[in-house]
Amino acid sequence: MGSAAIGVRGVGGQDGSGGALAYARVVNGVDDAAADLVRIRLDLAYDGTGFSGWATQPGRRTVQAVLEQSLSTVLRLPESARLTVAGRTDAGVHARSQVTHLDIPRAAWQSVPGRSALTPGDSLVARLSGVLAQEYSAMVGGVAPGATAAAPGLTQVPRGASDVVVYQATEAPAGFDARFSALWRRYRYRIADTPQALDPVRRCAVLTHRQPLDVAAMNAAAVGLLGEHDFAAYCKPREGATTVRELLDLRWRRVPAGEPDAGLVVAEVRADAFCHSMVRGLVGASLAVGAGRRDVAWPSQVLQGGKRHHAVTVAPAHGLTLEEVRYPPDAEVAARAAAARTLRELPPR
């Protein structure tokens, strides 16, 4: 199928940068079922420092653009790969456990191992590792392909290293959608609020706060934010998308000695989904309470206002990491995707 043209059609106004894609599945003029495409789930992680976020942007190095180019190279696709992601992260935000999917011809998937004894998934992971390392090395040494400026703060790179790693590639179950099939996403926001908690090795993943925070007050303020609400007050609106979300957890704790984040103040934030900048807005409001600038009732009052509040400072991106995306059993992913689309997409005007 080397010269086949693969047509793509978006669903609900969303595109490959973060929305759900339903492929028209046009291969040599044959539509849908006859095209014999396979949906591949990729599990990955990345250091967001050198990226202008997940979504493709002209002239910018983004996770989506780097991955799509690398996949197109490895899979020898006639057109660029198109990815749909579980959580579209902002510039500087990290991910330990991100999930994305793409649809490709089954022949391309089966041919990935070549003559090796590896499975298609293991072979794709291995080959992507090499291509991504080459891209990272080129970026550090100058300007990455597709970008017009080098990433800040990088001067050299260990051999074989990359700031994005795909650690699993599998054939997805029927009806799986990386975005809409997810039950919930879980983030952590890390803060060093004492000199003893500062770690220069983690400076790009931990926010420095110059005064101790009142964790008890921050947790008291979080109570009124839990549950299903319209979080428009904490989100940047996107056309065609609702801002109603169910916040399942917002918990702060000062991590005790002996744990990986010992000494840090860490927020655990979990929801069915997050609208644009929602986590960082919630963290910013919590910081105002923890620093004593606002009382514990203020974040709930902002929420009830129903619109962006000028006093809510969005917390810096680098302290935030996507830690986990949870999906239902394979037999339930299609139903979950259908239900989530209905909840989160506004009807056409």
Q: Which two tokens stand for residue 336?
A: 């979950």
**DSSP H or E stretch at residue 299:** helix 298-305
* CA gap 329, 159 in Å, rounded: 39
| C-beta separation of 85 from 98 below 8 A | yes
Amino acid at 108: A
Sheet strands (E) in 75-150: 84-85, 94-105
DSSP 314: P
Residue 155, C-beta contacts closer than 8 angstroms, at least 6 positions apart: 140
- Tell me: is residue 187 an annotated ligand-binding position: yes
Active-site hit among 90, 103, 193, 261: 90
SS3 169: strand
* CA gap 233, 175 in Å, rounded: 33
Residue 316 CB: number of other CB atoms within 10 A?
15
* CA gap 336, 45 in Å, rounded: 24
* CA gap 205, 95 in Å, rounded: 10
Is 32 among the residues known to form the active site?
no
Residue carrying structure tokens 């004593």: 292
Residue 187 β-bridge partners: 269, 322
Q: For the chain, first and last CA: distance in Å?
A: 40
* CA gap 157, 151 in Å, rounded: 13
Binding-site residues, in ranges, read 187
Tell me which residues are annotated as active site.
90
Binding-site residues for substrate, in ranges, read 187
